[in-house]
Amino acid sequence: MAPDNKETLSNLLQESRRFPPPPELAADANVKADAYDEAAADRLGFWERAADRLSWAQRWETTLDWSNPPFAKWFVGGKLNVAYNCVDRHVEAGRGDKVAYHWEGEPGDTREITYADLQREVSKAANALIELGVEKGDRVAIYMPMIPELPIAMLACARIGAVHSVVFGGFSADALRSRIHDGQAKLVITADGGYRRGNPNALKPTVDEAVADSPTVEKVLVVRRTGQDVALTDKDVWWHDLVDRQSDTHEARPHDAEDPLYILYTSGTTAKPKGILHTTGGYLTQVAYTHHAVFDLKPETDVYWCSADIGWVTGHSYIVYGPLANGATSVMYEGTPDTPHRGRWWEIIQKYKVSIFYTAPTAIRTFMKWGDDIPAKYDLSSLRILGSVGEPINPEAYVWYREHIGGDRCPVVDTWWQTETGGIMISPLPGVSEGKPGAAMRPLPGITADVVDDQGHSVPNGGGGFLVVRDPWPAMLRTIWGDDQRFIDTYWSRFEGMYFPGDGAKRDEDGDLWLLGRVDDVMLVSGHNISTTEVESALVSHPKVAEAAVVGATDPVTGQGIVAFTILRGGAEESEDIAKELRDHVARTLGPIAKPRQILVVPELPKTRSGKIMRRLLRDVAENRQLGDVTTLTDSSVMNLIAEKLPSAK
Ligand code: WT7
């Protein structure tokens, strides 16, 4: 259903709080306002200069080949090695002693990995892959916890031109098997297990199950992390037996700018996951540039931490490739935010003096729920920039993040992008933009995003519609692995000549963009289009609400009725009147049309492992249907707790 121009409610646009950049940050920012003009005047020239921040073995001949849309080729004829750019060149420039990762294990063990260490470890791992018979172009599935061997394995693949396919360590054997099969992986790299919620969490049995009927897999390389018992099969090789005895030098050969770098699966709405394919030159150019621009990274002084898992694209682009290409010092943390206590993340920020922190709205709302007193116990004064990614950030969550984590001095950058876009596309620039809570603001320099109506025409300021990208960008997906037609159908068929990411958006009177979530999540109530994000934001703006998920349930009278699932903040009591209080609050904030038909107070919300609310399941509950597939849920028992709350649900 389309967010409609006139009918869409304007709640978010009434958000009037504004946060200008701190003057010192603005004066010294890596990227200033002129970058927009520079890129508008010569878009390809702008990306050439961004590519020049990397080290190329051979310069490209053509910046962009768009002769066969939608199949883009960037920096055609150019050659580079991604691992050399992320590791060796920093060592060669005399920065070998600089820390690349302050790694923190969940039980409290730590490792400091300098760029020189990384060069030796990646070289050894690359030599080991070669000994196992892995060749350029072969696919390597990686199923690992958040330990240093994970980025090392990815960089070793990149170094020799093998294509990695990282599968998030929380996925099931079925999910792993289908990804191994789709990519026809020759090797799997894994670990005995990792630490989660205070306990060793085994990974190897899942790999055994998936590999048992995966004939393409020749070997399984196993890191010992937890020391738990492992049943070895004849395909298994211990990392410490094979990698440790390799030479710690390896000459990185250049690869073509359009050689594949990795496949990463995104589930989408249909059953079969899509293998998103990224290549080397354009991808590295955009992730390095955006990391430099959006986080204003000063590699000599900043300590950067992105709390995502490397199993998601956020971790690929902003824990591994972007930060390393820029020579950053990063924190990498293995475990969960509440182990052994709910202040763990703030303790880490205090300990390593983190200055740039990047996380997701779902995490921020969880911390709001846990209470303001927890972060207040820690010294967070090292922070200077905060980032958000993954879903629209509600204005209340933005303001809480800014105040309680950022000490009311750090700009919040709300970064919109996707697995498919490879890098950040729409975001404030911390030294330029006047922050608006809930707005992702403008396309970055060099990106031409727009909001269009049903017919593909640009909407005026004040209008709403579909987000599109008009021109190819360097880090864009090149195709869906093995399925060019699906690539065309999924992204390039809704609007002629434009990329359609599937998100709704509004453009405010200043021309700034507000993302409204997936267009499938727009409700039609009595002829009005209402986005779930807007009603959720209205609910979260009530002092007693920590989190809310809203769905449209079929309603004989109104078409769809709004059903809201809410989690109350720590301290707030569930009472009979709360539902009425919240319904009235939404009516006051958004208008009576958006008043939820039903409000349910629940203990948890169903989320995917990447933290996205599974509204599909809530719709099943609200419409009193049998639940659909729950296999990608973090915790499927949540659905029983929710169903108990709904009087009519079975
Ligand atoms: C979808 C992509 C990009 C890394 C993590 C998610 C939503 C992402 C924002 C944001 C509003 C956002 C979109 C997008 N999304 N960031 N800042 N504001 N929505 O990657 O799993 O590929 O999901 O996440 O709906 O299409 P992903």
> What per-residue string of b and e applies to 14-37 under the rule 16 or more CB within 10 Å gives b?
ebeeebebeeebbeebbbeeebbe
> Is residue 352 a contact partner of residue 383, using CB atoms and an 8 Å limit?
no
Q: How confident is the model at residue 634 (pLDDT cuts 50, 70, 90)?
A: confident
The answer to whether residue 505 sits within a structural domain is no
**How high is the pLDDT of residue 526?**
75
Question: Which stretch, 93-107, 542-556, 629-643, has highest mean pLDDT?
Answer: 93-107
The answer to whether residue 329 sits within a structural domain is yes
Q: Which residues line ligand 1 (CB under 6 A)?
A: 266, 313-314, 389-392, 414-419, 440, 501-503, 515, 517-518, 610
Q: How confident is the model at residue 9 (pLDDT cuts 50, 70, 90)?
A: very low
Backbone angles phi, psi at 174, to 5 degrees: -60, -45
Residue 275's beta-bridge partner residues?
A: 265
- Closest approach atom of ligand 1 to CA 419: 22
Structure tokens belonging to residue 184: 């026809």
Same domain assignment for residues 83 and 171: yes
**How high is the pLDDT of residue 1?**
35
Residue 406's nearest CA partner among 424, 381, 439 is 381
Q: How far apart are CA 371 and CA 364, in angstroms?
A: 11
Residue nearest to atom 12 of ligand 1 (CA): 391
pLDDT tens column, 274-306 = 999 999 999 999 999 999 999 999 999 999 999
0.80 surpassed by pTM = yes
The answer to whether residue 304 sits within a structural domain is yes
Per the structure, how many domains does the chain have? 2
- Closest approach atom of ligand 1 to CA 415: 17
Using the 3D structure, point to which of 462, 486, 510 is the last residue of a domain.
Answer: 486
**How high is the pLDDT of residue 11?**
55
How many angstroms does the Cα of residue 418 sit away from the middle of ligand 1? 5
Q: How far apart are CA 80 and CA 293, in angstroms?
A: 22
The answer to whether residue 46 sits within a structural domain is yes
Q: Is 625 annotated as a binding-site member?
A: no
pLDDT tens column, 152-194 = 999 999 999 999 999 999 888 988 999 999 999 999 999 999 9
Q: Is 532 annotated as a binding-site member?
A: no
**Cβ within 8 Å of residue 359, ≥6 positions away:** 306, 307, 308, 387, 388, 389
Q: How far apart are CA 127 and CA 47, in angstroms?
A: 34
Of the listed ranges 245-249, 269-273, 338-342, 426-430, the least confidently predicted one is 269-273
Residue 534's nearest CA partner among 516, 521, 554 is 516
Of the listed ranges 27-31, 352-356, 431-435, 555-559, the least confidently predicted one is 555-559
Same domain assignment for residues 559 and 482: no
> Is residue 54 a contact partner of residue 284, using CB atoms and an 8 Å limit?
yes
Characterize the bridge pairing of strands 356-359 and 303-306: parallel
**How high is the pLDDT of residue 270?**
47
How many angstroms does the Cα of residue 442 sit away from the middle of ligand 1? 15
At 493, the amino acid letter reads: S
Residue 2 has pLDDT above 60, yes or no: no
Residue nearest to atom 27 of ligand 1 (CA): 418
The answer to whether residue 650 sits within a structural domain is no
The answer to whether residue 209 sits within a structural domain is yes
**How high is the pLDDT of residue 533?**
85
* Residue 551, domain CATH: 3.30.300.30
The more confidently predicted of residues 523 and 419 is 419
Host H or E run for residue 212: helix 204-212
Using the 3D structure, point to which of 458, 486, 514 is the last residue of a domain.
Answer: 486
Q: Domain range spanning residue 560?
A: 526-645
* Residue 479, domain CATH: 3.40.50.12780
**Cβ within 8 Å of residue 594, ≥6 positions away:** 9, 11, 525, 530, 534, 535, 538, 562, 586, 587
Residue 645 has pLDDT above 50, yes or no: yes
At 292, the amino acid letter reads: H
Same domain assignment for residues 195 and 82: yes
Q: How far apart are CA 42 and CA 40, in angstroms?
A: 6
Same domain assignment for residues 431 and 535: no
The answer to whether residue 557 sits within a structural domain is yes
Same domain assignment for residues 476 and 623: no
Q: Is 175 helix (H, G, I), strand (E, B) or coil?
A: helix
Using the 3D structure, point to which of 456, 486, 516 is the last residue of a domain.
Answer: 486
Of the listed ranges 90-104, 161-175, 373-387, 401-415, the least confidently predicted one is 161-175
Of the listed ranges 96-100, 400-404, 524-528, the least confidently predicted one is 524-528
Residue 421's nearest CA partner among 447, 455, 392 is 447
Q: The tokens 């090789």 sit on which residue? A: 237
Residue 113's nearest CA partner among 125, 97, 89 is 97
Model ipTM? 0.99
Average model confidence (pLDDT) across the chain: 92
Same domain assignment for residues 477 and 531: no
Residue 58's beta-bridge partner residues?
A: 79
pLDDT tens column, 88-109 = 999 999 999 999 999 999 999 9
**How high is the pLDDT of residue 610?**
75
At 199, the amino acid letter reads: N
**How high is the pLDDT of residue 611?**
79
Same domain assignment for residues 439 and 544: no
Q: How confident is the model at residue 6 (pLDDT cuts 50, 70, 90)?
A: very low
Same domain assignment for residues 333 and 435: yes
- Mutate which of 264, 313, 416 to test ligand 1's pocket (most atoms within 8 Å of Cβ)? 416
pLDDT tens column, 468-525 = 999 999 999 999 999 999 999 999 999 999 999 999 999 999 999 999 888 877 787 8
Same domain assignment for residues 346 and 400: yes
Same domain assignment for residues 274 and 179: yes
The answer to whether residue 494 sits within a structural domain is no
Same domain assignment for residues 195 and 314: yes
Residue 559 burial class via C-beta count within 10 angstroms: exposed 0-12, middle 13-18, buried 19 and up:
middle
Residue 52 has pLDDT above 90, yes or no: yes
Largest pairwise CA distance in the chain: 72
Q: The tokens 């820690």 sit on which residue? A: 378
